[in-house]
Copies of this chain bind each other. A is one copy, B any other.
Amino acid sequence: MSTPKEEADALVAPLPLTPLANNVSFRDQAYAALKQAIMDAEIYTHTRELRLDERQLSRSLGVSRTPVREAMTLLEQEGFLRTVPRRGIFIVRKTKKQIIEMIEMWAAIESMAARLATVNATDAEIGSLRTLFDEFRTGTPAEHIHEYSDANIRFHQAIIGLSGSHLMGKTIENLFVHIRAIRRLTISQSDRAERSIVDHMRIIEALERRDTELAERLVRQHSLDLAAHVEKYCDFLE
């Protein structure tokens, strides 16, 4: 015989359902689609200007202009687009100075993240870096630049993750969209790939030894080296 309480429990049917996906508004979908399209555009491999059209995009996405406009408003604030009234909406190509600023900002954030990681992360979390590192090392740089570059970025994002700072993760994410676009153009130059592997190994060791100052310095220097490299050899970026 069941008590009233038990009957009630049986009736509410505690099926473990996921709360449906509420945040898939057309605006957010358009935002994601446009951002992906911009990332895939390989904007630094050619020089013609890339113009978008609200109406055409809304037709392509099958929604009205309003959510597309709102998505483009977001992308404009993030620095991916620039809208000029009555001229069009253009994909922004970053100048060399802007890219260097982004790399310096990356250096600032990731070095602080490394500092925090030596204090906050568990040994297991730090240890997981070695997995990513293997992934990174085994990708033969010259042949699989895409996979190599992506593994590289995942490694750095993992360090940010170790800091436990959600804000840093979110900020770096957008920077990497830009940096990734030019990284493929720089990673194959000189012996940067080889040196990256050494740098990454040293960073892991410093984190494992909880050497706060060293980890911070190594991470910072690794990024600033890239900035210096871009400064010297990437004049093709305007």
**Contact between B108 and A112 (Cβ–Cβ < 8 Å)?**
yes
Report the copy number of this chain in the oligomer.
Answer: 2
A80-120 interface code vs B (CB 8 A; 1 in, 0 out): 00000100000000000010011011011101110010000
- Mask for A197-238, Cβ within 8 A of B = 1, else 0? 000000000000000000000001000000000000000000
The yes or no answer to A140 lying at the interface (CB within 8 A) is: no
Say which residue of B73, B101, B112, B166 sits within 8 Å of A70 (CB atoms): B73
User: For the complex, what is the distance from the CA of A116 to the CA of B171, rounded to whole Å?
Assistant: 20
Q: Which residues of B contact A220 (CB under 8 A)?
A: 112
Q: How many angstroms between the C-alpha atoms of A94 and B129 in the bound complex?
A: 31
Instruction: Check B22–A168 contact: CB distance below 8 A.
Output: no
Q: Is A105 touching B73 in the complex (CB atoms < 8 A)?
A: no
Contact of A105 among B70, B102, B165 (CB under 8 A): B165
State whether A168 and B101 are in contact (beta carbons under 8 Å apart), knowing that A108-B109, A112-B107 are contacts in the complex: yes
Contacts of A153 in B (CB 8 A): none
Closest to A102 in B: B167
CB neighbours (8 Å) of A74 from chain B are 73-74, 77
A183 within 8 A of B: no
Q: What bracket does the count of chain A residues touching chain B fall in?
A: 20 to 34
Chain B residues with CB below 8 A from A113, complex form: 108
Contact in complex: A166, B101 (CB < 8 Å): yes
Q: Is A154 an interface residue (CB 8 A)?
A: no
Pick from B22, B25, B105, B107: contact of A167, CB below 8 A. Answer: B105
CB-based contact B66/A101 at 8 Å: no
Are A105 and B98 in contact, with the CB atoms below 8 A?
no
A69 at interface (Cβ–Cβ under 8 A)? yes
Instruction: Give per-residue flags for A25-43: 1 if the beta carbon is below 8 A from chain B beta carbons, else 0.
Output: 1010000000000000000
Q: Which residues of A contact B (CB under 8 A)?
A: 22, 25, 27, 66, 69-70, 73-74, 77-78, 85, 98, 101-102, 104-105, 107-109, 111-113, 116, 165-168, 171, 220
Q: Pick 20 A–B contacts, CB within 8 A, sort by A.
A: A22-B85, A25-B85, A66-B66, A73-B74, A74-B77, A77-B78, A98-B166, A98-B167, A101-B167, A104-B116, A104-B168, A105-B165, A105-B171, A107-B112, A108-B109, A108-B113, A108-B168, A109-B109, A111-B112, A171-B171
